[in-house]
Structure 1
């Protein structure tokens, strides 16, 4: 083969290889366009389905293993829920007798009674919102609100199981204890009012502004020598005077039948009022005798027990320290529940484990 023919063949081969290379590149580009178009179509289908498909909120809860709370040792359980495990079972029994049940809602699994009681104790013993409680116990916020309100409604009707007026022998025992404490005879209790902070209501909000310049609901409590409530009365606006609060309660209406020969210790709010069953201090106008001053000191020493009772209750059942964003109807139920649980959880102890020097703390302004 001569040189001219070889040159022609070489040029022809180079042209063919170049065209073959260009064909491979075109084929790859075409495949990429097809794949890109297919990916676009797939994304379009997914987006269309996401629009047409009903949205389902996936909420992940951290409290899926809430049952382990029931397996805590007694000390840890009491530290979290403010009562012992034995007291928890007794309280659960009271609530079941009152009508608490495990019920269904919108096809969801039923809430066990134990879970409802645990949520209630956590709610009233802390200041967590319903969102935090729902996360801790693996329920929706609405279910947590419904269950806690159900328990509150039931326990507020069970006052007979937790708070009762002393009978004959109990009065004598309490009178003896008060006499040892303050030296005054025939005293079976101490009475005082306590402010529970709340937000300003829409209707007649000015009535709830108290003399300490915050909005509150009043609680009237009477305690025995052990610091246990023997009578509670609540629901009146914070602007109401303690004496007016007493006149609105059944204690004032039935004091002759209930008190007999015994008396209660009260502070200066009851001075000059028609309360013959209350021993109140004399006003210090600069002309008090030594006997009057000693008597005032004895009354103050005896009344200290109710101030401590209010402090311990607010310390243990911390929900009542601040009831903002709570409707007025529910506030009374919460206050009553705290008073009942104060008696129920106290037992034989009249001290506070967290504050051995006494409650309330110095920065507690809403006493």
Structure 2
């Protein structure tokens, strides 16, 4: 019996001890959970304090208005407004976009919508027409300045790839059309075009800047061009430094190589004053007198009346190239002021403008005289860079033309 009571006492004590252990465990668990809640609460308070103290960051893309392009231009602009601002009608702009689509088509991404092709072309055309800064174009078209820069260069390089389509030496019926056009409009027979140079102002490069300093007192690159009777470009050569002589540019051009090898024009001649006159280009006295290049007499004060008449007739026909340069700079006014880009990119801008000049002419976008404001296409002041002894055959052709014009009444 005593043993049993001892067992009960021992059992009760065991329960008490067991219950005491459970109570301590529960208290420990509760305490741990409470500490965890406090820690989480402190972390939340700290994060809220940091967020409150940290200034709000700007959003990664600043919202810009698309209203002007999407609504005003595309929906309300008339043809006259398109010509005024973009230097071409809407129909011509659509033709240009169609030509560039294979070169500029892009795909949408999940990060951001790409700028539509029409807007990218419009940005570049507006830049060429006005020479506006990237900041101005950014606000106008509602896109970032970096995007404006990319649009201009992508479109200009793409337009330059179209050069072979819009600017090429004529052959066959097209060549005969030009010859007939010079004779009918300007009274000069056997003429296939007029050649001259124009200086395009540029920023002086960091190296060899003196090479680009021209005789007009500014930095430039040279555009050599051949134009037809309608002042459309049929051959261009862009990029020579402004200090280089006109005749040197010609001698180092593909045009000169073709002419000297006999591949420039077919050997078609016309008998004038008992002399076989070949097809030829017209140039000013800065160029050499060649079988395929007719130039005027140097006015040394001793020219005869017939020679002065010849010079006048030649200058009148050569006015087509001066007219082309004037229209080029009047329509694409980025060429009027300094082309403020890397010197390696400047020829792309000039070539692009020449392509667009022909595109507008082919699509009937007439040049507006108001665009000639501030355009001063000066006559070349280069001195002759040729030997004094003239080749016999070209001199005989020129003399035949002198006699031919002397028999006509201007």
> What is the CA-CA distance between 1:105 and the residue it aligns to?
7.9
Matched, 1:292 2:297: no
Q: Which runs of structure 2 are paired with 1:266-345 in the superposition (5 Å)?
A: 266-270=283-287, 273=288, 275-345=290-360
Secondary structure of 1:227 counterpart: coil
1:48 pairs with 2:53: yes
1:281-304 deviations in Å (ceiling 9; x for gaps): 111122212111111011110111
Deviation of 1:173 after TM superposition, in Å, equals 1.9
Describe the shift of the 1:324–1:334 C-alpha distance in structure 2 as closer, same or farther (beyond 3 A): closer
Residue 219 of structure 1 aligns to a residue in which SS? strand
Alignment of 1:69-148 (within 5 A): 69-71=73-75, 72-97=77-102, 99-103=103-107, 107-148=111-152
Q: 1:199 aligns with which of 199, 203, 223?
A: 203
How far the C-alpha of 1:165 sits from its partner, in A, is 1.3
State TM-score, norm by structure 2: 0.72
Q: Which secondary structure does the structure 2 equivalent of 1:232 belong to?
A: strand
Change over 3 Å in CA distance of 1:173–1:55 after alignment to 2: closer
Higher gyration radius (CA) = 2
| Counterpart in the other structure of 2:20 | none
Q: Which runs of 5+ in 2 are unaligned?
A: 1-48, 267-277, 381-410
Question: In terms of mean alpha carbon deviation, does 99-108 or 173-182 score higher?
Answer: 99-108
In structure 2, distance between residues paired with 1:177 and 1:290: 27
Q: Quick one: distance in 2 between partners of 1:330 and 1:104? A: 29
Indicate if the aligned counterparts of 1:190 and 1:306 stay in contact, CA closer than 8 A. yes
CA contact (8 A) 2:322 2:377 kept: no
**Which residue among 176, 180, 187 is the counterpart of 1:183?**
187
Q: Which moved more, 1:302-311 or 1:59-68?
A: 59-68
2:263 paired with 1:257: yes
Q: 2:159 aligned with 1:155, yes or no? A: yes
SS class of match (1:191): strand
- Give the whole-Å Cα distance in 1 for the aligned partners of 2:162 and 2:301: 48
The structure-2 alpha-carbon separation of the partners of 1:355 and 1:345, relative to structure 1 and needing over 3 Å to count, comes to: same
Distance in 1 (alpha carbons) for counterparts of 2:186 and 2:347: 33
Q: TM-score, normalised by structure 1?
A: 0.80
Tell whether the 8 Å contact from 2:289 to 2:295 is kept in structure 1 after alignment.
no
> Structure 1, residues 58-95: CA drift from partner, whole Å, max 9, x if none?
74535444122122222222221111111111111111
CA contact under 8 A between 2:336 and 2:375: conserved in structure 1? no
| In 2: Cα distance, 1:347 partner to 1:355 partner | 21
Distance 1:131 1:73 in 2: 26
